[in-house]
Amino acid sequence: MSRGRTWFEALAGATFDGEPASVLCADGSVRGERARFLTVVPDPEARFPRARSGELGLEEGWALARRVREVVAADDDRGDRRALIAIVDVPGQPYGCREELLGLHLALAAAVDAYATARLAGHPVVALVVGQAISGAFLAHGMQANRILALDDSGVAVQVMSKRSTARVTRRSVEELDEIAKEVPATAYDVTSFSRLGALHRLIDGVDAAEPDAEDVETVRDALAEAIASARHDGSIDLSGRLASPEARQHRDASLRVRKRLAEEWSR
């Protein structure tokens, strides 16, 4: 079973029966906080053949957007805005002529739009990376979160392209890429290297990412609750917090220097 589904069912305390079957959605709670859980899973019966193994394709992009916007609309005149929990285990996006023709880039933009809109409207958006978080799929489902959490596990990886494909495109060997990854942690795939870039709110260790027991689930539930509370507490609705962490000050210092220089030169 996909890790996304495992964690979805454990945290939401529910299974999902709707459409499309590849986008699981359930309303539940996290330590008393209302939350909608969302994840993308394999669907061997998916209408688009190239998106049957858990890829974030056309239907998935627009469906995520719909599920997120439902929450924004429903809570629009309420005092409290419920949390959105994006459980992330996506192997990437589908490679297909039909996908491109039908605007795959726009389907992913729809999910980005929805999550960002929810965050701007005051909904705490929390991403929980339990497996793979690849490229466009992660941009669409997870990267617009106020808080990103990840399980510290060898099966958890944040990357932009498979090592094999990267080797081909950059005309280097996989061995050379591994050497480079030691110098440039941004190119490494393991979650510990990703955490060094400062965008992770919490790296949760001691948890079985593939087959969590009840205690593991509670540990993660606690972490989600803390992340939601943290997001609500600082009231920030943008992504600036990612650059404020000590890790970012060290490993994304060029990003900070650029912003500082731009601000200095902006008006004259």
Partner 1 sequence: MTAPALARTRFTELSARERTIALLDPGSFRELIGPFERLESPHLEPQGVVPACDDGVVVARGELDGERAVVLAVEGLFQGGGIGEVSGAKMAGALELALRDAERGHPVYPVLLLETGGIRLQEANLGLLAIAEIHAAIVALRSHVPVVGVVAGMVGCFGGMAIAAGLCSHVIMTREGRLGLNGPQVIEQEAGVAELDSEDRRLVWETIGGEQRVATGMADALVEDEVGAIAGAVRTAFDAGPPVVHRSSQVERYEARLAGMDPLDQLDGPALRALWRDDGGGR
Sites for partner 1 among residues 8-67 (CB under 8 A): 47-50, 58-59, 62-63, 65-66
Q: How far is the CB of 230 from partner 1 (least distance, A)?
A: 18
Q: Which is nearer to partner 1, 217 or 248 (CB)?
A: 248
Phi, psi dihedrals of residue 62, rounded to the nearest 5°: -70, -35
Q: Which of 80, 100, 208, 222 binds partner 1 (CB under 8 A)?
A: 100
- Restricting to residues 235-264, which ones interact with partner 1 according to CB under 8 A? 238-239, 242, 252, 254-255, 257-259, 261-263
Contact indicator for 167, 173 with CB cutoff of 8 Å: yes
Q: Which of 35, 84, 150, 199 binds partner 1 (CB under 8 A)?
A: 199
Contact indicator for 57, 141 with CB cutoff of 8 Å: no
Residues 6+ apart with CB under 8 A from 76: 121
Q: Which of 88, 197, 209, 227 binds partner 1 (CB under 8 A)?
A: 197
- Restricting to residues 133-192, which ones interact with partner 1 according to CB under 8 A? 135-136, 138-140, 143-144, 158-161, 165-166, 168-170, 180, 183-184, 186-187
Q: Does 194 bind partner 1 (CB under 8 A)?
A: yes
**Does residue 189 sit in helix, strand or coil?**
coil
Q: How far apart are CA 203 and CA 147, in angstroms?
A: 11
Q: Counting beta carbons within 10 angstroms of the beta carbon of residue 180, is it exposed (0 to 12), middle (13 to 18) or buried (19 or more)?
A: middle
Contact indicator for 67, 25 with CB cutoff of 8 Å: yes
Q: How far is the CB of 202 from partner 1 (least distance, A)?
A: 17
Q: Which is nearer to partner 1, 8 or 48 (CB)?
A: 48
- Restricting to residues 204-233, which ones interact with partner 1 according to CB under 8 A? none
Q: How far apart are CA 60 and CA 141, in angstroms?
A: 10
Token pair 């978080």 is at which residue?
Answer: 133
Q: How far is the CB of 85 from partner 1 (least distance, A)?
A: 18
Q: Which of 15, 18, 74, 105 binds partner 1 (CB under 8 A)?
A: 105
Contact indicator for 42, 53 with CB cutoff of 8 Å: yes
Q: How many alpha carbons lie under 13 Å from residue 72 in its C-beta half-sphere?
A: 17
Contact indicator for 189, 158 with CB cutoff of 8 Å: yes
Q: How far is the CB of 183 from partner 1 (least distance, A)?
A: 5
Size of the site for partner 1 (CB under 8 A): 75
Q: How far apart are CA 92 and CA 185, in angstroms?
A: 21
Q: Which is nearer to partner 1, 11 or 143 (CB)?
A: 143
Q: How far is the CB of 29 from partner 1 (least distance, A)?
A: 26
Structure tokens at 113: 């739009």
Q: How far is the CB of 216 from partner 1 (least distance, A)?
A: 26
Q: Which is nearer to partner 1, 76 or 265 (CB)?
A: 265
Q: How many alpha carbons lie under 13 Å from residue 183 in its C-beta half-sphere?
A: 4
Q: How far is the CB of 189 from partner 1 (least distance, A)?
A: 8
